[in-house]
Structure 1
């Protein structure tokens, strides 16, 4: 009887220890990380918002974690070359990716075979550090002040033109969304970059432009452009005068402009959580807030689920528009 009791006690202890193993392993992954320099891949050339965010956050992250953080630019194929490299990297938290929201759109608009990854299945969201307010702006000669006035004008004057960047860009998708939702006729004018698109809109050669507000704020104040509304989900404290398009009768007119940090699929949750905690703390630093907000970035942060949510939202929004409009990238 006592022998049987001892065996039961031993079995219970073994089961208890076995249950602790995953917790111990998880704690070990967190405690030992990072064990070598961290690389943040930016799948675009230096100079853009993702590059700036990677360098500002990476510098502080290296200080907090006691390891060097290297920013590596791997541009090409609309960001898919760098993203594919990260998807293939070891899932140990030492290779990360800072990318704009075109990461979600590129697989939908590029030819089949170009993209070798799945944006949801092959990456672990870490944090959504920042976003930018995109607005719809009109040349003043149209005489419209908001979206309902634009829709009325467009129905009376079919054939308006709009721009923002190249074929297959978020701005292109935003215009096709508006066309379908409002039942108006507009043509997209493609440019190789925002600068020439903005110049031609300011010159009156193009009627409308979807553009980050920070790029046109000075032109709006000077009366050279009229902002008709924003494409964010909510009215922003930093620009309360800009009414979201979704509040102007088109509740699904949301096109986010964001930058996210991702890890390869399979990166241990304790490592993802540690990175998330550290970067949330970095975003709260006064000097970081001043630097990023001065560059027209709207700080977001929050748990990894916040980034996962916007990825799913954009996929659900973009895919049907891209299919129905036949949008392809240049």
Structure 2
């Protein structure tokens, strides 16, 4: 068959147009067909982060109509899970669900710990799931009505405070309070919040800096009382408890959070899709109810909002850890 110049030109133009379409094709749709979305958690099953992740997985599965599974990867204070996520394909199929310890732990662990992941460059913030508070709790028999009374006690006699471990956000909160109150306090680190609260109930320490979820049942039963919260504003979940800043300890004002991260390099369009789907979950009344039962207030928002928060907290906690010389024993 004879091919005319005009026909060849039309063929060449079609090929070029086809090539242009291929080059401009969008990234693969998220979630990928036939593949589950995996939520990686740096704690064992049953822990606070694991419960948050499983609530999210259940609700997100309903939004996506695709399987969403939770993968527990405990170790190195959550850094192993961060490293696993960072080294996964940047397609939005593997996501990290983590508490605020993601930005505190790198300042207290050796750099090589947990796979030497750089949380500020190897991960992409997607969305802040929630915010929470820390709170000093004590036994009613101690007779401490508030944090001012705790500071006054510490000026007269030895006072100890328990935390779930050296370098934890609770330890940082305790040191901030010690500095703000200008009193001597003895730090007693435990391997988790539960043993710290158990020793508090046994009158082995004066006070414990805890998260709300861990202390909630003891507060409801009257076994323990909260004498302040670390948030700048009162927690809507404990509106009757004054902030530490209200009580004169203005430098003790920070809140905790849970958030979702993707591997660095994940296309912005994919990150946006993931964030939109999770925001749909967070808008559901049932999600808000279940998060509140875990001591968390739903937040949501854009990847940019969360990235700003992560950077600010990372820098702030770095300064605090260096100032107090905090390290893991």
Q: Which band: TM-score by shorter chain?
A: 0.7 to 0.9
Give the conservation status (yes or no) of the 8 Å contact 2:41–2:96.
yes
Cα separation, partners in 2 of 1:93 and 1:167, compared to 1, 3 Å: same
List aligned pairs for 1:1-330, cutoff 5 A: 28-29=26-27, 31=29, 33-35=31-33, 36-115=35-114, 116-157=116-157, 159-330=158-329
TM-score by length of 2: 0.85
Point out the more displaced range, 49-58 or 180-189.
49-58
Taking a change above 3 Å as real, the CA distance of residues 83 and 65 of structure 1, as seen in their structure-2 partners, is same
Give secondary structure in 2 for the equivalent of 1:328: coil
Question: Compared with structure 1, are the counterparts of its residues 87 and 301 closer, same or farther at alpha carbon in structure 2 (3 Å cutoff)?
Answer: same
Question: What displacement does 1:222 show?
Answer: 4.5
Distance 2:123 2:90 in 1: 9
How many residues align? The count is 309
What is the SS of the residue equivalent to 1:71? strand
Query: How far, CA to CA, are the matches of 1:106 and 1:250 in structure 2?
Result: 25
Question: Partners in 2 of 1:320 and 1:289 — Cα distance?
Answer: 33
Change (3 A) 1:141 1:250: same
Structure 1 residue 184: deviation in Å? 1.1
Moved more, 84-93 or 131-140: 131-140
Structure 1 residues 217, 42: closer, same or farther in 2, change over 3 A? closer
Give the secondary structure class of the aligned counterpart of 2:161.
Answer: strand
Check the 8 A contact 1:134/1:230 in 2, yes or no: yes
CA distance in 1, matches of 2:171, 2:197: 14
- How far off is 1:234 after superposition? 1.8
Deviations 1:224-280, CA, capped at 9 Å, x for gaps: 333111112321222211212122223331343321110011211111111111111
Shift of 1:172: 1.2
How far does residue 201 in structure 1 lie from its aligned partner after superposition? 0.9
* CA spacing shift, 1:30–1:149, aligned 2, 3 Å: farther
Contact map agreement 2:36 2:67 (CA 8 A) in 1: yes
Structure 2 segments unaligned to the other structure (5+ residues): 1-16
CA apart distance, 1:37: 2.4
Residue deviations 1:4-43 (CA, integer Å, cap 9, x gap): xxxxxxxxxxxxx9xx99x965xx2374543432211112
1:126-182 per-residue CA deviation (whole Å, 9 max, x = no partner) reads: 11112333211233344332223322322233x310012122211111111112222
Range with bigger deviation, 54-63 or 193-202: 54-63
